[in-house]
Amino acid sequence: MSKIPEFENQYIEFKSENVKAMALAEEIVAFANTEGGEIWLGIEDDGSVSGLSRCYEEDIMNICRTNCIPPIIPVYEPIKIDNQLVAKVTIPKGEDKPYYTTQNKYYLRVGSTKRIASREELLRLFQASGLFHYDLVSVDRAKLTDLDISQITNYFTRHQISFLDETEDERSRLMTASDIIDNRCKPTVTGLLIFGITPERYLPASGISFAHFSGTELDSKLIDKKNFNGSLARQIDNCLAAIKANTPIGSTIVGAKRVEDPHYSDKVFRELLVNACVHRNYSLFTSNIRIFKFQDRIEFISPGRLPNGVSIEKLPIGVSFQRNPVLVRFMENMGYMDKLGRGLPMVYREAMQLGCKVIFEETGQEFRVILPFPKQ
């Protein structure tokens, strides 16, 4: 038997019987756009039971179908409490975000209330749905001089294009067609991250922070700490070097041979670094990608949850998702990755061979990969 929650919170909303259809639709949309939740009908704001005079299942289904776009499928459960009828309406976390009402309003659940999504929040909802890609956004304050022309030249040379021998108009056309700049000659987010001289100047918290702790918790003694900025390739290469420098490989002598202790190959750390860089949400300016090395594990933490349609359960078997498809294209062309979704399964398999299990977690607005070290 279901028990009435004690109070409203991020996942619980109370509504009396006389709630209007549009007000209910707004609550439903807010839950679907966030983490899902429950609407308890026949319960007052103070948690007292006022009850329902009849079953409202058909009404709720109609509201979810006609007042919410795209339609939402709830679960309606009638419940008897002290001889009074109430209903628990469960709204799932939406898989087709963003949802909005027929009044063209997008709502989010924040604490125990709903509110209209801000421009930045709406942008992230569209980005999660795959309807909008932040890596294509132009950066208004940036200029062509913020791009490293020598790196752009090297990139096109690998594709048999003599960039510097072209006219200025043709060079602009090539960069525009490749999404390095927009049609106003403003660098894009991708242009700055791949070819920017100092992209962090315009894209706050777009780097990698590395920290090595002596123990197993964040309050352990700090052994090493570094911040890496610049182009993504430079960040990945420098951070990989720092991880290797802080992860010595032990060995034992067996007979006349030196045998290394079980350890991960460099490609595992490189894959997790590349994955964090190309799939993070660059519209979140909250923090750098963070790499924490502990005595028993290493953690890769990137801003942004998994995109719509991608679940943690799918990651070990391989799923190809692209929050930043233009970034992915460049990193693939530069030899840092492929688009076949083989990277994380490779990491998962190598960990299993070493007797370890990779842990994938979503917490708040972050995605975390925890890689335990093999026992020596």
Residue type for position 64: C
Q: For the residues 155-161, what does the mean pLDDT come to?
A: 90
Residues in the chain: 376
pLDDT computed for residue 354 by the predictor: 93
**Per-residue pLDDT, 64:** 97
pLDDT band, very low/low/confident/very high, at 309 (cuts 50, 70, 90): low
pLDDT at 108: 94
pLDDT at site 96: 83
- Radius of gyration of the chain from its Cα atoms, rounded to whole angstroms: 25
Q: What is the pTM of this model?
A: 0.70
Angle between helices 325-333 and 232-245 (to 10 degrees): 70
Tens-place pLDDT, residues 172-227:
999 999 999 999 999 999 999 999 999 999 999 999 999 999 999 999 999 999 99
User: Would the pLDDT of 44 be above 60?
Assistant: yes
Q: Is the pLDDT of residue 1 over 60?
A: no
CA distances from 68 to 39, 41, 107, 287, 364 (A): 15, 18, 11, 34, 25
b/e code 118-136 from CB counts within 10 Å (16+ = b): eeebbbbbbbbbeebbbbb
Contact residues for 88 (Cβ-Cβ < 8 A; gap 6+): 2, 38, 39, 40, 41, 76, 77, 79
pLDDT at 133: 81
Go through 275-305 and write b for each residue having 16 or more CB atoms within 10 A of its CB, e for each that does not: bbbbbbbbbbeeebbbbbbbeeebbbbbbbb
Extended strands (E) in the chain: 12-15, 37-41, 68-69, 75-81, 84-91, 100-101, 107-110, 113-116, 208-213, 222-228, 251-254, 257-260, 289-293, 297-303, 359-363, 366-372
Rounded Cα–Cα distance for residues 228 and 215 (Å):
23
At residue 237, the pLDDT reads 96
pLDDT tens digit sequence for 88-124: 999 999 888 889 999 999 999 999 999 999 877 787 7
User: 3-class secondary structure for 226-281?
Assistant: EEECCCHHHHHHHHHHHHHHCCCCCEEEECCEEEECCCCCHHHHHHHHHHHHHHCC
* Amino acid letter for position 362: E
Residue 2 has pLDDT above 70, yes or no: no
pLDDT per residue as tens digits for the range 295-304: 999 999 999 8
DSSP states along 331-365: HHHTTS--SSS-HHHHHHHHHHHTT---EEEEETT
Domains and CATH numbers, the chain: 12-117 (3.30.950.30), 134-200 (no CATH), 208-372 (3.30.565.60)
Q: Which range (82-96, 97-111, 265-279, 315-329) has the least confidence?
A: 315-329
pLDDT in the model for residue 359:
92
Taking CB atoms within 8 Å and a gap of at least 24, the contacts of 319-326 are 321/279, 322/279, 323/127, 323/128, 323/133, 323/134, 323/279, 323/280, 323/281, 324/133, 324/134, 324/135, 324/190, 324/278, 324/279, 324/282, 325/133, 325/135, 326/133, 326/135, 326/136, 326/179, 326/188, 326/190
In angstroms, the CA 60 to CA 66 distance is 10
